[in-house]
């Protein structure tokens, strides 16, 4: 399964992505922005933190039962939205046994209503068993299954129109980052959502650099923050200032109990999309609760 958490940020900054993954100097994102990459700004509306768990085809009926038991008994921060995304075959088991404190997401859904699409799962079926969310645009759907930006955008539009919240995944391949195309790729993927979705009220953006998913490599807090800030700036310019301020942008990519605290301190990282670490209930609880490191008294 996978989980997500969010929190309330209070400052922002922009930097251009560095082609190298580590220890490379960052250049200014825009000429008039400080090379310090953090600029004071007026306080923003509080964005509820969200933590989401999901790990592809991993798990069995017994391990899912154990994980649900661990989550039901875990002490979780009250101001964190927690969502789990089990494989399809365990969705009914999880929705019927998980505490109401935690919501359930599917890992994918079909582009429209029902029909003869063998092997696909409809939004209507997901709602029928109690799902509140769906993950769309995950890197494996893009780069293994072959779904393109427009197809993913249409999926998101249909899910939102039918009342599901959407975890909209974006992120670049290693070769794209090394070529300096991180922002180009992320903005293109964002545009495919923006062109068709009816509203941004129930969308959470998940930035997942593909080179960091399941590899043990993690974007540094500064690398993740610079992309999150750039995404928020894109929303401000291309959707609205209100959407940019309110939309939660979470980070995914080898997040675990050891690195979540430093990542959570960054202003524009509003939570996490967790993979393998979400299969361990206590560690997932640690990640959910890591947002407390970001709390400050105004």
Given the DSSP bridges, would you call strands 203-207 and 2-5 parallel, antiparallel or unpaired?
unpaired
Q: What is the pLDDT of residue 225?
A: 97
Let me know if residue 43 belongs to a domain.
no
Give the catalytic positions in this structure: 138, 208
d(CA 11, CA 23): 24
| Domain around 223 | 48-289
Q: For tokens 């290693």, what's the residue?
A: 174
Let me know if residue 13 belongs to a domain.
no
Let me know if residue 104 belongs to a domain.
yes
Let me know if residue 217 belongs to a domain.
yes
Let me know if residue 5 belongs to a domain.
no
Q: Is 33 exposed, middle or buried (0-12, 13-18, 19+ CB in 10 A)?
A: middle
Give pLDDT tens digits for 233-261: 999 999 999 999 999 999 998 888 889 99
d(CA 151, CA 111): 8
Q: What is the pLDDT of residue 30?
A: 27
Let me know if residue 170 belongs to a domain.
yes
Let me know if residue 40 belongs to a domain.
no
Evaluate if residue 151 carries a pLDDT over 80.
yes
- Structural domain count of the chain: 1
d(CA 220, CA 231): 17
Let me know if residue 188 belongs to a domain.
yes
Evaluate if residue 297 carries a pLDDT over 50.
no
- Return the CATH number at 128: 3.20.20.70
d(CA 82, CA 73): 14
Give pLDDT tens digits for 102-145: 999 999 999 999 788 899 999 999 999 999 999 999 999 999 99
Secondary structure (3-state) at 145: helix
């Amino acid at each position: 399964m996978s989980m997500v958490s969010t929190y309330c940020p209070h400052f922002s900054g922009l930097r251009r992505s560095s082609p190298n993954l580590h220890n490379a100097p960052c250049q200014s994102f825009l000429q008039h922005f400080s090379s310090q990459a953090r600029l004071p700004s007026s306080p923003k509306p509080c964005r509820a933190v969200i933590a989401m768990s999901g790990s592809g085809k991993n798990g069995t009926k017994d391990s899912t039962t154990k994980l649900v038991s661990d989550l039901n008994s875990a002490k979780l921060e009250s101001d964190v939205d927690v969502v789990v995304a089990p494989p399809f075959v365990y969705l009914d088991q999880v929705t019927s046994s998980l505490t109401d404190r935690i919501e359930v997401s599917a890992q994918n859904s079909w582009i429209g209503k029902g029909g003869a699409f063998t092997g696909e799962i409809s939004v209507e079926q997901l709602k029928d068993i109690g799902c509140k969310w769906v993950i769309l645009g995950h890197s494996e759907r893009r780069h293994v299954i072959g779904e393109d930006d427009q197809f993913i955008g249409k999926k998101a539009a249909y899910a939102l129109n039918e009342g599901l919240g959407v975890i909209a995944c974006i992120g670049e391949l290693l070769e794209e980052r090394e070529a300096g195309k991180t922002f180009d790729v992320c903005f293109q993927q964002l545009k495919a959502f923006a062109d068709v979705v009816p509203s941004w009220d129930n969308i959470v953006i998940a930035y997942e650099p593909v080179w960091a998913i399941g590899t043990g490599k993690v974007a540094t807090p500064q690398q993740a923050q610079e992309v999150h800030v750039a995404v928020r700036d894109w929303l401000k310019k291309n959707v609205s200032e209100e959407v940019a301020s309110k939309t939660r942008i979470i980070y995914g990519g080898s997040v675990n109990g050891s690195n979540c605290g430093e990542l959570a301190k960054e202003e524009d990282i509003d939570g996490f999309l967790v993979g393998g670490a979400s299969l361990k209930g206590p560690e997932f609880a640690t990640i959910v609760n890591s947002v407390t490191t970001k709390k400050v008294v105004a």
